Amino acid sequence: MNRKEIKKSIMPYVFLLVFVIGCLIAFNLFNNTIHELSYDDFIKNLNGGKITELVVTPKVRTETYKLEGKLDDYNDNETFILYLPFSDEFISKITNAKENTSNFELVIKNDPEASSWLAVIVDVVPILILAGATLWIFTRQIGGGAKSMDFGKSRAKLVEESRATFKDVAGLTEEKEEVQELIDFLKNPKKFTSMGARIPKGVLLVGPPGTGKTLLARAVAGEAKVPFYYISGSDFVELFVGIGASRVRDMFKQAKMNAPCLIFIDEIDAVGRQRGTGLGGGHDEREQTLNQLLTEMDGFGANEGIIIIAATNRPDVLDPALLRPGRFDRQVTVSLPDKNARIEILKVHAKNKTLAKEVTLENLAKRTPGFSGADLENLLNEAALLAVRRNKKEITMEDIDEATDRVLMGPAKVTKKYTDKEKRLVAFHEAGHAVMGLKLDGANEVQKITIIPRGHAGGYTMMTPKEESFNYTKKELLESICGLLGGRVAEEVTFGEITTGAHDDFKKATKIARSMVTEYGMSSLGPMMLEEPSENTFLGRDYTKNRNISDTVAHEIDEEMRSIINDCYEKTKKIITENKELLSLIANALLEDEIITKEEIDYLVEHKHLPKEDKKGQIIEEEIKEDKPKKTRKTKKEDTK
């Protein structure tokens, strides 16, 4: 047991003891009765022999006697007291009364104030105690006030030496090359100044969340081996006007003392938003903070050896003065990783994980387009948790597949029961997407189909682009719309009725069609930008959407969108009708197995049945002879359980 635990265990008993002693003292004080006698009463009782005890204490400073004692008719808790002036006659009366009248107990004390040291203690010590207590309370208040009113101090956290290096940053090859100059400058500034070059004062990292902006900034500090200040943009903003500006000044003051160094401001859009915007006027505190930041970055004062790296995923809302040369000179876009970058990221996060031999990071990277570095780390972590939950010694592809579904759609609701009709509807809906992916080159490729409910969806089809590219042709966009409409068309062709299961497909298809008309110029309206893709974040995304078009053109946009969707719907209906046998084959396989993967779909198309598996889970390619009993295949739903 340590000292703190011992102290905590003893304190209740100490408080109880103090409470009991206090109660006893209070009881004695309030239970005693003191009678004040007059001089005549005292002389009368003295001569009558009624005094049993008498204590005489001279008070030199006041030239009085203090008399305390008891009478014969007093109880134990009763005493009398009186004060008399100095008089030799009075002392003789008491002495004679004791000798002649009665033999009572007489005590004559010395004056406690006669000693010089005692006088000092009595007079000076209380004053010193009072002064000390006052000073202690005053300093406590000042110290507490300083802590509670310490708004103007910088909240930037100092890391003396960052442990992150470029080896920890995977997949950002071009981005690391952009910031390499900062490292060279921090290590050898004379190499740049001798050529008259000015190193960028600020670098703005722009990109979606989870792409590694903060990690890249830490790696820059680690490679340069310089102090690293970290702060969030929201740490500057306070209720009181001027506090944020004071924090900015204090942060740069501390940075100058540790120069050369790096300052990393995460989510700078919290403090760097454009000034003079918003309903009801501007925000004085935030604008003053931004003004001070602008001054510190490129004002009259010089900040030699200080480089600022900031990160945001909303560069469109930043103030233009913040982005001009001399402040944030350079913008580095940290985009979502491509296939090769995802492989490198997966290698970093798979170092401490036990993967089965069947798991290849290249295949996993192909199946995760649009995943950020944080998503990939979370995916492998979820797979590891599932493997532990299932008491496995290594992470299999089955665990990774399940983890991917959990990350995208949530856990499988295996206890939710379908009706037979609803189950067939979901199976044919998902099979419709698969048929369009197989028959159209531009449609997304189906990687996995399941009719086990996840989240709010009754079924789930994982579709990925066949090839990752920066640009898409008109044909590819139209075929993507057809692929999204495949589920609704399959319902209509098979059952003659439609359900609400295609609402998310319609949302994606409508967005593609609208972009084709208003942004890409892929309609009869011509190559025109009819709507800005950016949105006003100050007054609402849709409230002030830029729309510099007339009502007639808006009507024509709606007509073009309707025409694109209808044409794609008819094309999809034709393809589904011509491939009803394939549709039924995939749907029946889903009803049997509930989960099928891309490899199984390809095998199904070629052999008209799902691949058989032996006890070890290996696919048996040859047909089973008719005279042998057919092996039953364990369903994926049971595997999920």
Q: Which of 345, 410, 337 is nearest to 371 (CA)?
A: 337
Say whether 430 is catalytic: yes
Angle, vertex CA 173, rays to CA 168 and CA 176, nearest 5: 70
In eight-state DSSP terms, residue 273 is: B
β-strand partners of 595: 450
CB-CB contact of 394 with 402 (8 Å): no
Catalytic residue (choose from 430, 479, 531, 594): 430
Sheet holding 595-597, edge to edge: 460-464, 445-450, 595-597
Cis before residue 260, ω within 30 degrees of 0? yes
* Whole-angstrom distance, CA of residue 587 vs CA of residue 610: 12
* Whole-angstrom distance, CA of residue 593 vs CA of residue 400: 19
Q: What is the phi-psi region of residue 157: left when phi exceeds 0, alpha when psi lies from -120 to 50, beta otherwise? A: beta
* Whole-angstrom distance, CA of residue 504 vs CA of residue 487: 11
β-strand partners of 463: 446
* Whole-angstrom distance, CA of residue 623 vs CA of residue 193: 76
β-strand partners of 82: 67
* Whole-angstrom distance, CA of residue 278 vs CA of residue 267: 19
* Whole-angstrom distance, CA of residue 201 vs CA of residue 302: 11
Lookup result for tokens 């943009």: 233
Instruction: Supply φ then ψ for residue 454, to 5 degrees.
Output: -140, 130
Q: Strands, DSSP E only, in 293-431?
A: 306-312, 330-333
Cis before residue 320, ω within 30 degrees of 0? no
* Whole-angstrom distance, CA of residue 62 vs CA of residue 507: 100
β-strand partners of 262: 228, 307
Q: Is 315 strand, coil or helix?
A: helix
Positions marked active-site = 430
